[in-house]
Amino acid sequence: MFKDLFGNFFGRQGSREVAKKRLKFALVYDKLEVSDDLLNDLQRDVVEVISKYFEVDTSAMKLDIKRSDDLSALVLNTPILSAKRR
Amino acid sequence: MEGKIIVVTSGKGGVGKTTATACIGAAMAMQGKQVVVIDMDIGLRNLDVVMGLENRIVFNIVDVVKGRCKIKQAAIKDRRIDNLFLIPASQSDNKDSLTPEDIIRLSKSLRGRFDYIFMDCPAGIERGFENAVAAADEALVVCTPEVSSIRDADRIIGLLYAKSITPKLIVNRIVPEMVARGDMLSHEDVVEVLSIDLIGLVKMDDKVVVATNTGLPLVLQKDSEAGNAFHRIAQRLNGQPNLPIENSDNGKGFWRSLGRKLRRRN
C-alpha cells in the first residue's frame, strides 16, 4: 500500500495495475464473442417465434452481431411476406 | 463408502495442475483418507513421474475402462504414504480412447473404493477436459498470477458453471516480493477478476522443482512453504473449510481478504 503510493508519487505505475486493466478488458471482450452454433440456434428459435405472427422468407433472413468500439448489437433482417391474421 | 470426485483443471498448461494434484492427493492421504489420483492426460502421462512412481506402471486408466484389468490391478500403491494410489494415463492411446460416459461408468466403482478421487485434467477444453470433468463433484482451478493463465482460468470457470460445478481457485507461484513491488498480480487481484472463492495460495518455491526432479513427495518436506500450502488446501477440502488460507504477504493480505469476504457475505 505504502509502496503503491510511493510508486505512483514518482509517476511509476507497476505492471501489476497494467496487467489487471488489460485482463479485465480482455475478459469482457472475450464474453462478447458468439459462436456460430449459438447464432444458428438463436436464428432457429427466432424464426419459430416470428413465424407465429408473420409469414417470413426464412432463406433471406440474416442474423448478425455488429460490433463497434463501445457497443455490440444484435441485428436481425428479415423480409416479411405477410402478416398472419388471427 | 461414497467417495468424492474432484477434478484439478486450469485451461492453460504448465501452471502446476499435475504438481497440485500430486500434492493435494498425498496430503489428503496423510489425513487418513483413502485417496486415488488419476492421470487423465491420455497420451502425455506425467503424474507418475511427478509422484516418483513411473517404474511401477503395469496397467493404466484406458486398460481399466476397456476392462483389460481391474481397478485394483491398475492402482499403484505409494509405499511412502499410506492410503495413496495412482492410476496412470496411457501413453500410447489418445484422448479419444475414452468418452465421458466411460468415466461416469467407472466413477461408480471408484466412489465405492476411495474417499477422494482426484482427476488430473489435461490442458485445453477438448475431449480430455470433457472426460476429466464428466463425473466430477467438485473442481479446483489452478492459475498463476499471469494474464494468460487467468484468462484461460476464466474460460474454464465458465465451462464448469455450465456443468453446474462451482469451482474453487488455487493461485499458484505467487512471488510476494514482486506483488509488494507492484509487478505481480496479487491473489486479491486474481480473485477480484475471476470472482470465485479462493481455496489456496501457493508461493513460488524452489523445493517444488527439487521434489519433481527426485520424485520425492513435496508434502513430506516439513519446511516447504508450497508443501504446507497444499496441506492446508487438503484440510480445507476435508471438512475444515474455515481454516485460514495461508497468505502470501505476512498476514496483511489475509486479513484484508477475510474482511472483504465478510463484507461480501453481508
Lowest model confidence (mean pLDDT) among A52-56, B13-17, B101-105, B256-260: B256-260
Q: What is the number of CB-based contacts under 8 A between chain A and chain B?
A: 42
The answer to whether B155 contacts A30, with C-beta atoms less than 8 Å apart, is yes
Confidence of residue A67 (pLDDT cuts 50, 70, 90): confident
Confidence of residue A30 (pLDDT cuts 50, 70, 90): confident
Confidence of residue B251 (pLDDT cuts 50, 70, 90): very low
Mean pLDDT, residues A55-67 taken together: 85
pTM: 0.83
Q: Which chain B residue's Cα is nearest to A29?
A: B151
CB B94 within 8 A of CB B126: no
Task: Give residue-wise pLDDT tens across range B88-127.
Answer: 999 999 899 999 999 999 999 999 999 999 999 999 999 9
The answer to whether A19 contacts B185, with C-beta atoms less than 8 Å apart, is yes
Task: Give residue-wise pLDDT tens across range B161-182.
Answer: 999 999 999 999 999 999 999 9
Chain A residues 18-37 with a CB less than 8 Å from chain B: 19-20, 22-24, 26-27, 30
- The pLDDT, as a whole number, for residue B249 is 45
Question: Which of A4, A22, A30 is facing B147, going by the closest CB pair?
Answer: A22
Domain borders along chain B are: 4-265
The alpha-carbon gap from A83 to the nearest alpha carbon of chain B, in Å, equals 38
Q: Is residue B147 less than 8 Å (CB to CB) from chain A?
A: yes
Mean pLDDT, residues B226-253 taken together: 81
CB B121 within 8 A of CB B152: no
Confidence of residue B8 (pLDDT cuts 50, 70, 90): very high
Domain borders along chain A are: 1-33, 34-86
Q: Which chain B residue's Cα is nearest to A19?
A: B147
Which of B103-106's residues contact partners 24+ apart within 8 Å by CB, and which partners?
Answer: B103/B65, B103/B131, B103/B132, B103/B134, B103/B135, B104/B134, B104/B135, B105/B65, B106/B64, B106/B65, B106/B71, B106/B135
Task: Residue A13: list chain B partners with CB under 8 A.
Answer: 182
CA distance A19 to A14: 9
The interface pTM score, or ipTM, of the predicted complex is 0.77
Q: Is residue B159 less than 8 Å (CB to CB) from chain A?
A: no
The alpha-carbon gap from A25 to the nearest alpha carbon of chain B, in Å, equals 10
- Kindly report the CATH class assigned to B4-265: alpha beta
Question: Which of B154, B181, B193 is facing A20, going by the closest CB pair?
Answer: B193
Question: Which of A14, A24, A27 is facing B183, going by the closest CB pair?
Answer: A14
